[in-house]
Amino acid sequence: MPVHPVKEFVRRISSKDLDEYPNWDLSRPLPKLPVPDLHATLTMYLKLVEPVVSEEKYANTARIVQEFIRPGGVGEQLQKQLVETAKTKDNWVSDWWLDDMYLCNPLPLPVNSNPGLVFRAQVSKANGSSCVERVRHHRKGQPLCMEQYYRLFSSYRRPGTEKDQQILNMNRDPFDPEYVIVACNDQFYVMNVMTSGKELLSEEDIYNQLRRISKDANSCSNPPRLGVLTSERRKQWAVAREQLCQDAKNKANLDLIERSCFILCLDKPIDASFNHEASTEQTSSGVRDDTNRSLQLLHGMGSKHNGANRWYDKTMQFVVSADGNTGLNYEHSVSEGIAVIKLIEHILAYMEEMKTKRLRRFPSICDLPHPQKLEWHIDKQTEAHIQSGLEEIDKLVDDLDLYILRFDMFGREYPKTVNMSPDSFVQLALQLAHYKVHKYLVPTYESASIRRFHLGRVDVIHAASMAALQWVKAMEGDVKTTNEQKLKLLREAIEHQTEHMLKTILGHGVDNHMLGLRVTAESVMGKLPDLFTDPVYVECNQFRLSTSQVSTTTDALICYGAVVPNGYGAAYNLHTDSIVVCISCWRDCPNPDISALRYGEALRQAFEDMHEMIQANVELAKINTVSTESKIPEENLATTKENGESDSAEKQQ
């Protein structure tokens, strides 16, 4: 029985890592996520609220908090119940978080939930075998929860009218998928990637199978555009799916898609000028730029292009365009970006490695069965659902405003030269850019990995702080200050951001704790305390600046949509000597000042202003008044220094 590489990918820690960290005891389970102290959480909550609300609102919220945490009050009762609940669960917040963040979210998956990942532009043969042929994983720092990796090739998000379901294929070994679904010209095919003897096919044989699919799919002039249904609002898709399942053949097709390893989308080429003015600084006229390529990965460019050549419910959806654009659209409820990035970078490295090796060949392509085309029985009700889906995806395409900033004056190494965390440095730049455009700060989300705990996903780092507000006001001249004073204010804001980040990744964040208290209140009391009905609590959970650091070793882009109508999304990639930021917002926003381009140019100026300020007094900028490392428990020191988990805001190097 051969050892399958996907098993190795999710079950092995490399011997190299064990040599570097011999004190790891892999027989011990990861620790359980702690329940933070009630008073510490609510004290921090007030600090997070203060810079983004009026003084009047803040005073009212402070009064509500004091009432909530008074001795013998509602807060203590809920905290006690939450602690008891935590004793009975592997991770007290994971299920609540998953429902709140994803499964109860009614919005369409593309742009709103599913990120797009764009690989470096290349023209190559579509390669569907890389994900299952040989995947290994190398970690540094400390053991982390690998649950997200387990699910990448075995999960599916099924729509529901009230709440979606995560489906994990347990009928057979979930790490041994034998086929993928190929989407081509809006049609779907089952393509085996193993022989009947459980041998993996070579890349060349898979390529030939894909040619068969392409020839067959393109011979059909008017296929049913069923894939667009997965791009609808979740309730609408759930209703349409239920209608499809009334037919046994349709239900069998849906089951095949659910149980597949992943989706491979063979796309039609896209015009370079689609949906936006191409950046002539970035590319030559007529050549697709970063923004154009990213839009294809986010939503397929709508009904006129590849908007229906998708199946957004499947966790891993690779996209290969005839013009060489390649990438991934992934369903986010299963995994954070870092797990996906690690897999993709291994695949890309493996593809480079295989260029120099002789490929195995199946004895004859004629001996391989033709890929199976999924035939659907479409009634008039389903046709109406499809037409509605095509109209809705076009509205989404028209509404999304995306801008890719490539900043090459410096990269992640520059903040280190003045003893500043690169991630905190960028977060402060994002705050300054927002203040430049809007003259105020907003609730800001940055994902913080808590995978050092069993079943840990993420908590939230809030970059909008009073220290940040004082600094951006000084930078913009609202408060008269010297350059030295601006540097000191920046240092204070950096240190506040870094300390908040460390507390959060070590399990003492605010948002998950308050979610746990809120859900516990609903369960125990049947109603919500004033703390959770306070308009400020609602406002501070509407993240008008949603950010995430997802660093890659390759020139890849990751992007997603803003999470509220009047906000921005900002995914940033820190390279050694450059910074890439994918900025999004919505065109159909009542605030005319909200623009991806305008915010992007303000961010460019923010980076330049920070550089100019530091260069004016480098020695002063280097002075670190508070030692960050002294605050980190020894067992976590290696992770913070060497961790590659960059979407968790842990990357300090």
Query: What tokens were used for 592?
Result: 């005319």
Q: Which of 332, 385, 508, 575 is catalytic?
A: 332
Edge-to-edge strand list for the sheet holding 400-407: 400-407, 579-586, 568-574, 545-549, 444-449, 458-461
- Phi/psi region, residue 32 (left: phi>0; alpha: psi -120 to 50; beta: rest), is beta
Q: How far apart are CA 583 and CA 575, in angstroms?
A: 17
Cβ burial, residue 369 (10 Å; 0-12/13-18/19+): exposed
In sequence order, the 6+-apart residues with CB closer than 8 A to the CB of 240 are 229, 232, 382, 385, 389
What are the tokens at 20? 């570097």
**Is 158:164 a contact under the CB 8 Å cutoff?**
yes
- Which residue has tokens 């550089």? 611
- Give the burial class of 25: count Cβ atoms within 10 A of its Cβ; 0-12 exposed, 13-18 middle, 19 or more buried: exposed
Query: Do the bridges between strand 263-267 and strand 179-184 make them parallel or antiparallel, or are there none, so unpaired?
Result: parallel
- Based on the residue annotation, tell me whether 332 is a catalytic residue of this protein: yes
Q: Is residue 441 within 8 Å of residue 53, measured between CB atoms? A: no
Alpha carbons 133 and 202: distance in angstroms, whole number:
9
Residue among 443, 455, 407, 650 nearest 550 (CA): 650
- The SS3 assignment for 448 reads strand
Give CA–CA dist 93/460, Å, rounded.
13
- H/E element, 86: helix 74-87
How far apart are alpha carbons 361 and 365 in whole angstroms? 9
- DSSP symbols for 327-375: EEEE-TTS--HHHHHHHHHHHHHHHHHHTTSPPP--S-GGGSPPPEE--
SS3 state at 150: helix
DSSP readout, 374-407?
------HHHHHHHHHHHHHHHHHHHHEEEEEEEE
Whether residue 117 contacts residue 332, with contact meaning beta carbons closer than 8 Å, is answered with no
Residue 4, sorted as left (phi over 0), alpha (psi -120 to 50) or beta, turns out to be beta
Residues in the chain: 653
Q: Decide: residue 539, CB within 10 A, 0-12 exposed, 13-18 middle, 19+ buried.
A: middle
Phi/psi at 558 (5° precision): -130, 135
The DSSP code sequence of 285-331 is TTS--HHHHHHHHHHTT-TTTTTTS--TTBSEEEEEETTS-EEEEE-
Task: Output the CA torsion 131→216→312→260 (10° steps).
Answer: -50
CA contacts within 13 A on the Cβ side of 292:
25
DSSP 8-state assignment for residue 465:
-
C-alpha pair distances (Å), 120 with each of 258, 273, 344, 531, 572: 29, 19, 12, 47, 16
Instruction: Give me the active site residues, please.
Output: 332
